[in-house]
Amino acid sequence: MELFSEYQDLKKIGQGTYGIVYKAKKKLTGETVALKDIRLESESDGVPPTAIREISLLKDLNHPNIVRLYDVISSEKKLTLVFEYLKQDLKKYIDSTIGEIPPIQIKSFLFQILKGISFCHEQKVLHRDLKPQNLLINKKGELKLADFGLARTFGIPVASFSKDVVTLWYRSPDVLLGNLRYGPAIDIWSAGCIFAEMYLKQPLFRGSNPKNQLKKIFKKLGTPTKDTWPSVYQLEDFDEKEFSGFPIRNIEEIIPKIKDQNALDLLYRMLQCNPHRRISAKEALSHPYFNNMKK
């Protein structure tokens, strides 16, 4: 435990693909932090690419709605990232809430999610793995984007990226259909799915594989047409016969729990199958839904 000599009261609070997350207290200041311990002995090429990516990006992403990376401690066999500590993630918050989440709380969380996304996109960073488990909340109700292991920078011209990004239930239809030249719109789709989930208290689209996920999406939102998404027919995984027959539906039919017309309109703009029609994070923050929020 020499690596953690600066910290006390270690308690395991989670386990990820590349290591363990601990809750600890810094001896010098008494501040509570989260330690993400990444094991290196199983990595033949040294530090995992996801860790390198997370470190390099978080150094430059200083924003109230993005988790802070305080320090990086390295040794021969371990790499430990020292983060600010937040009590729970949005998934745990949703699961632990008895009854419906108050609409004002949903609005507050979505506003903070979009502020974090907007800042990332301004810095030319795609998160690429937004889901309730990667959104952390503290005692004050402040929400912060976390886990930037899949994040990438983007620019013009648009680079060709991997399609194996974003947890399946929050992955946009354009990526599911094989579009590798995607941009900020993929994060907006994920945020729209999370927005709906806060009302439903369960994921909006729960597919078992990419093809099944697409069917779940089209069944609820309707199959794209040449009018709504002309370029969809050029995507390698779009099978018109397989995905045809699903009519366009109003968003209020899909989530009748949402009574606020502005909320329905914003969700509709976020969950556009055609990525070019999706609202941007910056535009979303100026939507009438947030008229009563401090900006």
Other CB atoms within 10 A of residue 116 CB: 26
Structure tokens that stand for 155 in this block: 């620019």
**227 tagged catalytic:** no
Compute the chain's Rg from CA coordinates: 20
Ligand-binding annotation for 36, yes or no, is: yes
H helix runs in the chain, sequence order? 49-58, 90-96, 103-122, 173-176, 185-200, 210-221, 240-243, 251-254, 261-270, 281-285
Q: Are 43 and 74 in contact (CB under 8 A)?
A: no
Helix (H) or strand (E) holding 30: none
The residue from 9, 89, 95, 129 that is catalytic is 129
66: which DSSP letter? B
3-state secondary structure of 33: strand
In whole angstroms, give the CA distance from residue 169 to residue 194. 10
Q: Which helix (H) or strand (E) holds 32?
A: strand 32-39
Q: How far apart are CA 105 and CA 83, in angstroms?
A: 25
Supply the residues annotated as catalytic.
129
Binding-site residue positions: 36
Binding-site residue positions for ATP: 36
